[in-house]
A and B are shown apart, each in its own frame.
Chain A
Amino acid sequence: MKKLIITYIVLLSVQLFAQVVPAPIEQKHQTILLQNGKAHIGNGDYVNNAAVGIKDGKILFVKNALTYKVEKAEWDTIIDIKGKHVYPGFIAPNVTLGLTEIDAVKASRDFEETGTINPNVRSLTSFNMDSKVMYTVRTNGVLVCQSTPQGGLISGTSSIMALDGWNWEDAVYKADDGVHINWPKKYRTTGWWAEPGVSVANDKYEELRQQLHDFFAAAQAYCKEKKPSAVNLKYEAMRGVFKGQKRLFLHAQFTPEINDIIDFSRKFKLAHPVLVGGYDAHHLADRLKENNFSVILRKPHQLPLFEDDFPNAPYERPYKLQQAGILFCLENSGDMEAMNSRNLSFLAGTAWAYGLTEEEAVATITLNTAKILGIDDRLGSLEEGKDATLFVSDGNALDMKSNQAFLAMVKGRFIELDNHQIQLSKKYHKKYGLSQP
């Protein structure tokens, strides 16, 4: 009982003493049991009434609560989450979160370096741990992101970051996890953005594609020498890619480019090629699989890219990829993507509505993502030995009307589920004498 009270105080402290900018919580207890929750494991499994044991920041077990006998002495804290849903922390790949604060204010944008070949620029050291946007994202269960540069031909190097920590060194999950290639487009738009003309064949495409080939060939040769006489930072940044330590993320939507990307990957014998975007990936699923590709699928909440496509085509893409048996996860890039990454779980929800099973849908923002990013040894599912980076919601977190944060932890440490928007809401509920939600 005493321990349950401690828990209560811990949670309450979050409520009462929250600052406008939440701080990482110092926490003494190291053994925590979450009792009676509905556990969405992340690997496709579901336990209706689960006991989730956590020790030293790691998941000890997930067991059936009905048969698991609780020894209270073993736990610093026991939290009853009866009727609530527990998920692995959602992972948002390919996002500028932490690299941008206000889209329209150039001074707050740090995700696009000038020049076209920038593999050496990296998001890690620019990741803003004091981002107000970030605090509004993690309250919806997104606890990890792949903070990713954009633009140019080779945009830069991303890093996997937890959305909690004092600084980027605390928060980093995997530094410099991969290099991002913004594959040239075979079609270029004409007109101007408010009154676009038709898209026409891009006569620069071959030149750009060749430029990528040339860069890779030169970088590959350079990397064969361990200590080159003249250091080239751009080539140095590619070492991990050729060694198979870094992933290569190739961004493209349509079949003609994807086919070229597969050829490119074969030529340079890439170990972990990842297609990002992939509106047409289902057309080439077999070829992608044969060549060891996985797919980070662009958000279902987008308009069809072809006028003649079914209105619901983007909603149904995840199901098509699932049917094709290719490993894929969901991402949220596009307009206002940093802010919008708090809606990641609703993308999975839509995929669920349009064909995936609920647990398949959960996997598209948890374990699948972790596998594709190469962090599934620590993240992505509620399985023994993995980090206790998880999220408890009052209701189903994939549905807007029931996604309601109850608690969340990163590496076993509770995080404050507060942000300036909640504070402002409270302030004005109070001003008008309205009952707080």
Chain B
Amino acid sequence: MLRYIFSIFFTLLLLTSGKAQHIAPENGVHDPHNTIYALTNCKVVVNADLTIPLGMVMVQDGIITYAGIMKPLPKDAVKIDLKGYTLYPSFIDIYSSEGVVPPKYEGNNRAYPQPSLKEGPFYWNQAVHPETNAYDHYKVKQAKNRKALIQQGFGVISTHVEDGVMRGTSVLVSLSDHPTVDNVIKAQSANHYSFSKGSSKQHYPGSQMGCIALIRQFYYDAIWYKSLKNPVKENVSLQAALNNEQLPHFFGVSDKLEILRAAKIAQEFRLDLIVKGGGDEYERIDEIKQSKAKLVIPLNFPDPFDVTDPYTSRFISLADLKSWEMRPYNPYMLYRSGIPFALTSKGLKSPKTFMKKVKVAIKHGLPKNEALRALTQQPAEFLGVDSLVGSIAKGKLANFLVVKGDLFEGGEIYENWLKGDRQRFKDIETADIRGKYDININKVVYELDIKGSIEKPSGKLTSYGVVKDSTNGGQTIDTTYLKTDIEVSGLQVSISFVLKDEAYDGLVQLNGTYNPTLGLLHGTGQLPNGYWVDWNGIRSKNFDDKKKSKKMVVDTSAVENIRYPNMAFGFDTLPEAKSYFIKNATLWTNEKEGIIKKGTLYISDGKIKSVNARSTSIGGAIVIDAEGKHVTSGIIDEHSHIAISKGVNEGGQAITAEVSIGDVVRSDDINIFRQLAGGVTAAQLLHGSANPIGGKSALIKLKWGFSPEEMLIQDAAGFIKFALGENVKQSRSSHSNRYPQTRMGVEQLFYDAFIRAKEYEVEWKEYFSASSKKRDEMGTPRRDLELEALLEVVHGKRFISCHSYVQSEINMLMHVADSMGFTVNTFTHILEGYKVADKMLEHGAGASTFADWWAYKYEVNEAIPYNAAILSKMGVVTAINSDDAEMGRRLNQEAAKAVKYGGVSEEEAWKMVTLNPAKLLHLDDRMGSLKAGKDADIVIWSDNPLSIKAKVEKTFIDGALMYDSEKIYYLKSRDTKDRKRIMQKMIEAKKNGSPTRKAVMRKNPQYHCDTEGEEG
């Protein structure tokens, strides 16, 4: 019997599953809210691909119980006749921070070791808090934009704590007026990440590469934590990340390159990746597609600039002008490329403009159904909640919009149903009284034309007066037009106006009832003299909505205007390697052939095929007569900080070997192009010198227009930045207590780092050599990205480029290296290298120095411009570098200073910016000289390249013409025309009433070694 009762109970439970269960006690009698609503006679847009022209939807208890063609209604259904209306699924914003206020932590931790202010069993870094759950912090009262979002058509948002690098989980919540306990659809909908530290006051991470390294190290920590048999210290953050691993992983980033960076992390840890982009995805659309990232994109289309003044307009870069023009096409271009994407209201100043922006996107090519998909199904699928939301179908939440007209073109949202919570913005029962009427007021007839919107119609009254002419006694009819005040509520209509004619002089106020079937107004009114009279109005003509007939014009004309990169001097199409035969040139070979006069050079397939060969078959090569010109291999800058995103220093810790400049190469830095114009073809992008052990370098070719991945030199040796002296001991900061504060401390830090790295190696070796049983007992050691990089140094797999000035510290590091069994590859800056040239030679270190810099700080007091000459004469491989975007494009002039100061031969001086840096970077097997088989990185100069008169005429990389001093005039005039064209569009937009913004000037960061990656 008992079993029988239970089985009935469970059967009932199954039948009612999906319906709201009442757990909390009620105050009063049970009120089940189970009325059935039937919305009939309407068009139902089920989803982006299916529309029922005449259908109906039934809703009970917040759930759709039927959606389909018309059918007989249950007797107890409340019928809502929606003739002329369309139902659309309501929108989902899956990148929101609405209603969530990040928790704040009290205290001051500016002094090292800077403990996290969040006390408890959490990760050491305060910017990493995957254990945070937005459901703990979501408060309806704080959701200031909730009503606006509802009005814009949103039904559901996934909202998160928008603070930190790992931000915890978001909560998927309905925007309805129900209590939050009923509104939460999914308490944990996704994990959230960003590349922004947020409110944490810890210095680390102080750069984007630091954020990337931090996320990676965290994941390795979590993997290690998972393997622990008996953790003696429970860590809630690591555990939370493991628990939530299966949820989608959501990165909030600000531009197209950051999408690629997020994708790289996701790939490493096999995370299901969704990225909230910056709205400029169209600039790197192919790479983004390849990354397989799913996108959520903002509609933050900027206002046009005010370009009235020609001089202030100059402050605006072409990149910013193009950005204004192109951003509205972004959704269309993503759609065209087949990249799955959703839309978000994030990034708008106010969500109130959201639908307006969606329509702008549609006007720029995004098909309407794709807009709907990006607002409903797509976000639902991204979060794996498409069985609950995202379309109008049986069993799903009753989240839909009641729209008059076309939602995406001229239509209006009348109602937004949120889990059955019916939010009305406009009354569907308000009569549409618009049209032309003959109004009869106590036998005087006027014509009334009612226009405007249904809820707020406006009227124009025509009255005819007879004017008598006193001179000839004739009569004319005088027509006057009056504005009238009209109010409509349901079927009740009020109209008032002030007359001045033969019949009436003064205020007339009318009230009447509208008969929709007959198109008739009838009621009573008060005349100017206070008498009440009957009046009526008979519709003579129906309202003609001209606005509707005006078709939206879709314009995709500008989508092909993408350059590589999309800014001044960008390529129309990327250059490709071609065959070139250069003749009659003075060739600076950097080989035993020395300087060849009247030589020939043949390049093809990106390589140098022959140098001054007696006979070469050159096929269809392009012949360049270089009579009077000089041809060299491209300049290589051993020490550059251009083309880096968001921080050249990760100065938050004394050792940051885990970070990598390679993670943050910025391909749209104009300085790449400027270096090409100075004959530079390759560079080492170095981490700064804020700490003794900085980050890994990126070795790049200056392939303007290509993606960061394509710029990185394939299979290049690994490098890492070390630094000594004033910068690393933070001598210019009066308050820092970060260790080290002295050169003494710097030495100890190095010893300690390498000793720890070796111990780490032993730990892993022991683990790998143990039996599997023993391994189980030991547990897998924790992977340490920092120590692994240092181990690479110890094993000669990663090379050091060490920022250094005074002889004591240079000497010191060589001692450290000797005792640890490795060689310092390069001392960079090395302004006192001349004092220890013999020791450097013995150790095997190379030098990369400034030609003549000194006096900018105390430790360069004994820097001398003869440094390069002395080092070179001593046999040390010596290069001259820039550390400066400006000087980087005049390295040929800097090399000439080695001739002036110390009498180095011209040939040797030239090697200091070509072959020698290639050697220091272990690239001399493929770069640095004119030799068959090497990369065709070639520069044609107007003159002896060391001469002050020398100008770069052409720069080739891998056989492709990257810079041409003649073609640059074409690029410039093309850019000028583009500027004028876009500015004309801006002026037109301004004329059409668009708000404008003042000119702004884009700035490139100019990084030097000591540019701290820390604000303030």
Q: In the assembly, what is the distance between CA of A187 and CA of B999, in Å?
A: 9
A19 within 8 A of B: no
Interface residues of B (CB under 8 A from A): 309, 311-312, 314-315, 317-320, 567-568, 646-648, 670-671, 673-674, 677-678, 726, 732, 834-835, 837-838, 852-858, 861-862, 864-866, 869-870, 873-874, 885-887, 889-890, 893, 896-897, 899-903, 906, 909, 946-951, 968, 972, 975, 979, 998-1007, 1011-1013, 1015-1016
- A selection of 28 A-B contacts at a CB cut-off of 8 Å is A104-B726, A104-B732, A104-B857, A105-B857, A193-B1011, A194-B647, A195-B646, A196-B1003, A199-B1000, A200-B1000, A201-B999, A254-B315, A256-B311, A303-B671, A303-B674, A307-B317, A339-B853, A343-B852, A350-B893, A350-B948, A352-B948, A401-B900, A401-B946, A421-B854, A428-B835, A432-B837, A432-B838, A437-B869
Cβ-neighbour of B948 out of A199, A312, A398, A428 (below 8 A): A398
A306 within 8 A of B: yes
Residue of A nearest to B649 (CB): A194
Residue of A nearest to B968 (CB): A310
| Shortest Cβ gap from B976 to chain A (Å) | 9
**Chain B residues near A102 (CB-CB < 8 A):** 855-858, 861
Q: In the assembly, what is the distance between CA of A346 and CA of B899, in Å?
A: 14
Residue picked from A194, A256, A422, most chain B C-beta under 10 Å = A194
Q: In the assembly, what is the distance between CA of A420 and CA of B873, in Å?
A: 21
Interface residues on A, range: 35 or more
**Chain B residues near A230 (CB-CB < 8 A):** none
Known contacts A307-B670, A308-B318, A401-B906; A349 and B948 CB within 8 A of each other: yes
Q: In the assembly, what is the distance between CA of A401 and CA of B951, in Å?
A: 16
Are A103 and B893 within 8 A (Cβ)? no
**Chain A residues near B312 (CB-CB < 8 A):** 186, 256
Q: In the assembly, what is the distance between CA of A133 and CA of B855, in Å?
A: 7
**Chain A residues near B896 (CB-CB < 8 A):** 399-401
Q: Given A311-B673, A399-B896, A424-B864, 6 other A-B contacts at CB below 8 A?
A: A194-B1005, A307-B319, A311-B678, A335-B856, A346-B893, A401-B946
A336 within 8 A of B: yes
**Chain A residues near B1007 (CB-CB < 8 A):** 194
Are A104 and B900 within 8 A (Cβ)? no
**Chain A residues near B864 (CB-CB < 8 A):** 421, 424-425
**Chain A residues near B866 (CB-CB < 8 A):** 421-422, 424-425, 437
Residue of A nearest to B836 (CB): A428
Are A336 and B853 within 8 A (Cβ)? yes
Are A308 and B975 within 8 A (Cβ)? yes
- Tally inter-chain residue pairs, CB-CB below 8 A: 187
**Chain B residues near A420 (CB-CB < 8 A):** 862
The list of the 8 closest CB pairs from A to B, nearest first, reads A349-B948, A104-B857, A199-B1001, A425-B866, A400-B896, A311-B677, A437-B903, A196-B1003
**Chain B residues near A338 (CB-CB < 8 A):** 855
Cβ-neighbour of A432 out of B855, B874, B890, B998 (below 8 A): B874
**Chain A residues near B670 (CB-CB < 8 A):** 307
Known contacts A307-B568, A401-B896; A104 and B858 CB within 8 A of each other: yes
**Chain A residues near B975 (CB-CB < 8 A):** 308
Q: In the assembly, what is the distance between CA of A111 and CA of B1005, in Å?
A: 26
Known contacts A195-B647, A307-B1004; A437 and B902 CB within 8 A of each other: yes
**Chain A residues near B885 (CB-CB < 8 A):** 303
Residue of B nearest to A428 (CB): B834
**Chain A residues near B315 (CB-CB < 8 A):** 187, 199, 254, 306
A301 within 8 A of B: yes
**Chain B residues near A350 (CB-CB < 8 A):** 893, 948
A243 within 8 A of B: no
Are B1003 and A198 within 8 A (Cβ)? yes
Known contacts A308-B979, A312-B677, A398-B948; A192 and B1000 CB within 8 A of each other: no
Q: In the assembly, what is the distance between CA of A308 and CA of B865, in Å?
A: 34
CB 8 Å contact bits of A355-390 with B (1 = contact, 0 = none): 000000000000000000000000000000000000
Q: In the assembly, what is the distance between CA of A199 and CA of B320, in Å?
A: 12
**Chain A residues near B899 (CB-CB < 8 A):** 400-401
Are B902 and A192 within 8 A (Cβ)? no
**Chain A residues near B317 (CB-CB < 8 A):** 306-308
**Chain B residues near A421 (CB-CB < 8 A):** 854, 864-866
Residue of B nearest to A429 (CB): B870
Q: In the assembly, what is the distance between CA of A429 and CA of B902, in Å?
A: 10
Known contacts A102-B858, A199-B1000, A352-B949; A254 and B900 CB within 8 A of each other: no
Are B1015 and A311 within 8 A (Cβ)? no
Residue of B nearest to A201 (CB): B998
Are B1013 and A194 within 8 A (Cβ)? yes
CB 8 Å contact bits of A186-222 with B (1 = contact, 0 = none): 1101011111111111000000000000000000000
